[in-house]
Amino acid sequence: MFKLFLLLNPVYVTLFWTVVLNAVKPQGNEPKTFLGKFFIVAFLTFIAHLLYFIPLPEIYVYADPVYYLTHLLVFPLYYIYVRLLANDRRFSWRKHYRHLLVPLALFVLYAAGAVFMTKTEYIDFIYDTPNQGERIKAVFLYQQIVSFVIRITFIIQGVVYMTLSILAVKRNQKNVVNFYSNTEEDSLDKVQRLNQTVTVTMTTGIIMEIIGKANFTGHDFFLLAPSAILSFMLFCIGWLGNRQRAVLLTDISDKNENEAADVNTDRDRHTSLPLPEKTTKSQNSHIKKHLEKLFNEKQIYLNKDLTIWELAKHLHTNRSYLSQLINNDYGQNFSAFVNSYRARHAENLQQSRPDLPQADIADMSGFGSVKSWKRAEGCQELRDKTPPPPPSKGE
């Protein structure tokens, strides 16, 4: 009973998050729904563990090839999930298939060996109980080699894909200030913790892989630590993943920025803004005038979810040029530029309505939270770079 309890823990956890994450509406929640697929794979892996360790060899013999497939898919799928948070808008076989090729190829090789064994031989191979005195068949040697390659591949994948995931998040966090205005809300802080959690999970899995699951059979107590660690960490992965939203550094408009600007120029030749490479000083001044009008008169900075793509659409220009203009002409990144207006707006509210709670001031000024406001207020960049003054008629 104790062993069954230990084996069922990760099964229940992965099943729970499989249901929760796959119930999310896919549109606009691509990373969450893909994480749901990750948990389906994890669920199948732990179901196979359950069948192996109970043991139920007559049933597990059919699940064994699938176990090796799901086993190898875990780390590539997690990395694709991180890419959906930080880089890619949606899963695409064309873009992501290469991460799945090695697991699928090894699955085919392993399944091919299983086909050439009888059921009894396969069970003997799985539980490492060949008949004494009987010459080991070539298919047994073949399957042992493939199994060894799978174990080594699992370890290498764990190290490689976790490194890639950590680097992807670091690159995203470094550049997010040029794309989003509320960087506290629009950040991958949860996935940073998620990466740490997965690293612990990965390390546990690698240790188990090195020891070999056959060495855990007959020693129920040995399953206690892996079961507790994996169950807790998998729950944390689901919880953090369910709360983290995508923070992409690309947009659909980025694919054909110049083409989009050309369309605007043809459609509104007298009013549309030019392409960056064709911009003259007078045109640059015209763009800045429109930009400052949006902030001083329209107060676009009060939109908590303002992004550089949305601002570029208002100005009929593209993200690349707008980012360059803000960096060069105002000496600030996009986030600092927007928050300088918000900070001034918050300061004015404090002076005119001192009775307002700080949370209300932050909300009314476009900040995501009081913490974001205070951080922006104390930022050296904001103290050194003040926004252009509003029109003389007042705010």
For 111, the domain range is 2-243
In a domain, 391, yes or no: no
Instruction: Select from 211, 243, 275 the last residue of a domain.
Output: 243
Tell me the CATH number at 154. Answer: 1.20.1070
In a domain, 392, yes or no: no
Tell me the CATH number at 344. Answer: 1.10.10.60
In a domain, 393, yes or no: no
Q: Give pTM, 2 decimals.
A: 0.71
Average pLDDT along the chain, 395 residues, taken 10 residues at a time? 81 95 84 92 92 88 93 92 83 91 96 90 79 65 92 91 86 69 59 77 79 68 76 87 69 47 40 48 80 88 84 83 84 85 88 88 85 71 52 43
For residues 128-167, b (16+ Cβ closer than 10 Å) or e, as one string? eeeeeeeeeeebbebbeebbeebbebbbebbeebbebbbe
Q: Are residues 266 and 188 in the same domain?
A: no
In a domain, 390, yes or no: no
CB contact at 8 A, 143 and 117: yes
Q: Are residues 149 and 233 in the same domain?
A: yes
Q: Are residues 218 and 282 in the same domain?
A: no
Instruction: Select from 210, 243, 276 the last residue of a domain.
Output: 243
Q: Are residues 202 and 265 in the same domain?
A: no
Q: Are residues 89 and 160 in the same domain?
A: yes
Q: Are residues 190 and 281 in the same domain?
A: no
Q: Are residues 195 and 327 in the same domain?
A: no
List the structure tokens of 213: 């699951």
Strand partners, 268: none
Q: Are residues 185 and 262 in the same domain?
A: no
Q: Are residues 114 and 143 in the same domain?
A: yes
302-306, Cβ contacts within 8 angstroms, sequence gap of 24 or more:
302/342, 302/345, 302/364, 302/365, 302/366, 303/366, 304/181, 304/182, 304/185, 304/366, 304/367, 304/368, 305/181, 305/182, 306/181, 306/182, 306/338, 306/366
The residue whose two tokens read 């050296």 is 380
CB half-sphere exposure, 327, CA atoms < 13 A: 12
In a domain, 274, yes or no: yes
pLDDT of residue 251: 52
Q: Are residues 89 and 207 in the same domain?
A: yes
Q: Are residues 351 and 374 in the same domain?
A: yes
As for how many domains the chain has, the answer is 2
